[in-house]
Each structure stands twice: as structure tokens, then as C-alpha cells.
């Protein structure tokens, strides 16, 4: 049995490790959980994620649809991984997709794409409703929380592995990588009603999590209960 190198794990749970990581390459952060740096916009890189099933053959991708991540996904398929689904958290993700969803699915070995039914799908590819009960998501211990997004349609992905991992898409933005802060804020929204709805949703959020992995900004690692409360209070502040 391979022993876990504690120093290696601690190193991988740092902003420096992610910032220095190669774009378009999966970086292992914690057991069976990987981050991939995607395209850069206005000096900020987007982040997608992969969760590997305990069977070590199946994988779920979260917000991995950008051109710079394409080859890494194809490599997963070539290495024999079964990509069981590509989860889309919000319209902003779809806006950065390198191709139509049919092509993205085919490049991922025919993986289904899960999206909110109110997302702005620009082609006729049939997506799976991410908000509905689903056997594949259940097999990864994933629950979906439907939150108001910038256009009124976004989700937060919660996975019970590793003592609880939260993937908020763009509904929570981490601190800049060149900042000494490590906190989270709501994104700027044009629609005041959506912003109010998102704040209320965060204020009412009561599921415990140890990791917070946003699409933009530094992740949160090993979050104790007090830190979780501080984060939710800030995200839920009107």
C-alpha cells in the first residue's frame, strides 16, 4: 500500500502550488480531487475540477469545457478513465466552451453534460437536468443546490467525499492569488434581485464542508466550523 506523503499533501493545498501549476494539466489537490487551470481572462484564470470515483475508473468533471483543457480531457479517455458526466455550474461556463456541447461530449468519450434547465444552451445537444435526482451523481455522493445566478440559473455542487467539498462555480469568488487574504465574496451581479436571492441562499446554507473550490480565485482548504460560518456570513451579507 502506498503511504501518503504528508508534506506533498500540504504543498498541494496551497495557492502557490496552483498558481505555479501548468495550464491545461490536472493538478491533484486532495485524494481523488483535481484542479485544472483553464483559459485566462483579464489576468484571471478559470478553474475546473475533476472528482475520481472510489473505483478509480470513473470520473466527474466540473466546469471543464475550455480550449486549454481539451487535450487533458482526451488524455483521461485515452488512459482508460470513464468520464461519467460533465457538470456545468452556470452560463458563464458555457460562454467559455471551446466548441458545441456535442463535440465536447464526444471529446470526453461520449460523457453526458449536466446543466441547469434554464441555462442558455446555444445548440440542440440534449443535456441532463443537473437539478434532478440522478444515479451517476448519487454514485459520487454529489448533491446539487439550485442558487440564483447572474442570469437566474446556477448551481452549487456538493460532494460528500473528503469530509465535504463545495464547488460553487461563480456564486462564490475566492481571493486573488497575489493577495494575502483567503476569503470568498459574492460575484458582482447586474440584477439586484438575483444578488439578493443569492445572498439569502448563502445565508440559509447549512451543509458542512471542509473544502471550497471556486471557479475563480484561491480555494479554501481544511475549513473548520468557525471558518465555514465566517465564509457563509460574508457570502450571505446583504
- Facing residues of 91 across strands? none
Report the distance separating Cα 43 and Cα 53, nearest Å: 33
Residue 12 in contact with residue 27, Cβ under 8 Å?
yes
C-alpha pair distances (Å), 85 with each of 106, 118, 140: 12, 19, 11
CA end-to-end span of the chain, whole Å?
Answer: 50
Q: What is the dihedral of CA 128, 131, 136, 139, to 10 degrees?
A: 170
Given CA atoms 139, 9, 156, 225 in this order, what sign does their dihedral have?
positive
Q: What is the pTM of this model?
A: 0.93
- Facing residues of 195 across strands? none
Report the distance separating Cα 226 and Cα 116, nearest Å: 32
**Quick check: helix, strand or coil at residue 136?**
helix
In tens digits, the chain (238 residues) has pLDDT values of 333 344 444 568 888 999 999 999 999 999 999 999 999 988 899 999 999 999 999 999 999 999 999 999 999 999 999 999 999 999 999 999 999 999 999 999 999 999 999 998 888 899 999 999 999 999 999 999 998 765 568 999 999 999 999 999 999 999 999 999 889 999 887 788 888 889 999 999 999 999 999 999 999 999 999 999 999 999 999 8
**pLDDT, tens digit, 9 for 90 and up, residues 36-51:** 999 998 889 999 999 9
Domains of the chain by range and CATH? 6-235 (3.60.15.10)
Report the distance separating Cα 13 and Cα 203, nearest Å: 27
Amino acid at each position: 500500500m502506498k503511504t501518503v506523503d504528508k508534506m506533498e499533501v500540504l504543498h498541494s493545498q496551497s495557492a502557490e502550488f496552483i498558481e505555479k501549476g501548468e495550464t491545461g494539466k490536472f493538478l491533484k489537490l486532495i485524494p481523488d480531487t483535481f484542479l485544472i487551470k483553464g483559459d485566462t481572462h483579464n489576468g484571471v484564470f478559470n478553474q475546473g475540477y475533476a472528482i475520481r470515483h472510489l473505483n478509480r475508473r470513473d470520473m466527474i468533471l466540473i466546469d471543464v469545457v475550455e480550449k486549454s483543457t481539451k487535450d487533458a480531457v482526451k488524455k483521461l479517455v485515452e488512459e482508460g478513465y470513464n468520464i461519467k458526466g460533465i457538470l456545468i455550474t452556470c452560463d458563464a461556463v458555457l460562454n467559455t466552451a471551446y466548441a458545441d456541447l456535442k463535440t465536447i461530449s464526444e471529446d470526453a468519450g461520449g460523457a453526458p453534460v449536466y446543466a441547469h434547465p434554464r441555462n442558455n444552451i446555444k445548440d440542440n445537444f440534449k443535456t441532463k437536468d443537473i437539478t434532478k435526482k440522478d444515479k451517476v451523481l448519487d454514485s459520487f455522493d454529489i448533491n446539487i443546490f439550485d442558487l440564483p445566478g447572474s442570469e437566474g440559473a446556477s448551481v452549487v455542487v456538493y460532494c460528500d467525499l473528503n469530509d465535504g467539498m463545495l464547488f460553487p462555480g461563480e456564486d462564490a469568488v475566492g481571493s486573488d492569488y497575489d493577495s494575502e487574504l483567503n476569503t470568498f465574496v459574492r460575484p458582482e451581479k447586474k440584477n439586484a434581485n438575483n444578488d439578493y436571492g443569492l445572498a439569502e441562499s448563502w445565508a440559509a446554507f447549512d451543509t458542512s464542508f471542509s473544502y471550497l473550490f471556486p471557479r475563480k480565485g484561491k480555494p479554501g482548504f481544511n475549513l473548520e466550523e468557525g471558518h465555514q460560518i465566517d465564509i457563509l456570513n460574508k457570502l450571505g451579507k446583504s
